[in-house]
Chains A and B, each alone.
Chain A
């Protein structure tokens, strides 16, 4: 059975200040994929994600989500950005963080019982319902990460895109989160940017390596063949 393509990048180029950054990228992500994105720092992993999310505009090429190029289609993506833009001292509870993901386009949004139910389901699916009234700065690193994944899940996305969600988390928590993602992958596609080759190769089905102008899909059977594949490309 042929799988349906959900995210498609065709000949996409992007540069910040006239210098080539991402050049002529082609990438197709299918439903129920578990795609790992790796590459050196400054190689363009986050840029690639932001292009997909429509947070950056490509200079050339076409990006379609679920067969459409309209901005509305990105609402079917659960997005988890890097933590560096988040102010952890912001006075907000875990429940509020997840609920706010349902504000969307409505300027005068009031939360109804549907919103509450969706937030509750998302938080429960991450096993942290008991922490819902804790404020952000009262949560540990792993708990924070779960809340942000719950936020990304609260709108029933068809794909979850996570940009380095595991930075600064210890090994056990990383493994735990990967298991959760694996579980979610039964229903939805997962795209994850990660530094940890060992971990990402253990769980993902495919890996692409992004390094500025070049992008490679790497086929592998285990960590060793992945490493060999990487060395031949990077």
Chain B
């Protein structure tokens, strides 16, 4: 589904990504972990077609992430909520539904219900939302076009425990439906519960890729890898 081949990204003299190779299968959830400045957000931006690689390629189901075909099939929850805060949650999700040409008239309401956004908040401006409410709205806009690939950048930061549980349930439903998920997060316990594999990124390079379903806890794997490369 996603094939990353020798992906390199330079910003002037700084190498943000150094020859990243990664393949993610359909219906698989992969986590990207690593210390701050490891290149996680740059990798996510390259996967989303927001930046051009200096070298290497990214293919999503054989297409470039820049192509409109790919963009029709992807959803994105950004790390920083850079929405137009004058809008309400309902207006934002409606706007993205219209851009994605979603025909179902009730899709927006059912999506806001699905992510558990309080109905009383639907028509309130986003500037009055808490961080957790913004994250739920972000998830709703990402899911509105029924994406085949979902990119989640710190999706549960600021979400309350009930929201985090709902988020996990949604991710499991999506995975069962064959949706490929790429998650970038520092919350290792969340990653452990939703990801099949994790890629450990450090200084722009993938140091290791580990399966999460084993006996060993992700935190221990993380600490071991941190120690090994330090």
A and B assemble together: no
Taking Cβ atoms with an 8 Å cutoff, the residues of B that contact A are none
Q: Which residues of A contact B (CB under 8 A)?
A: none
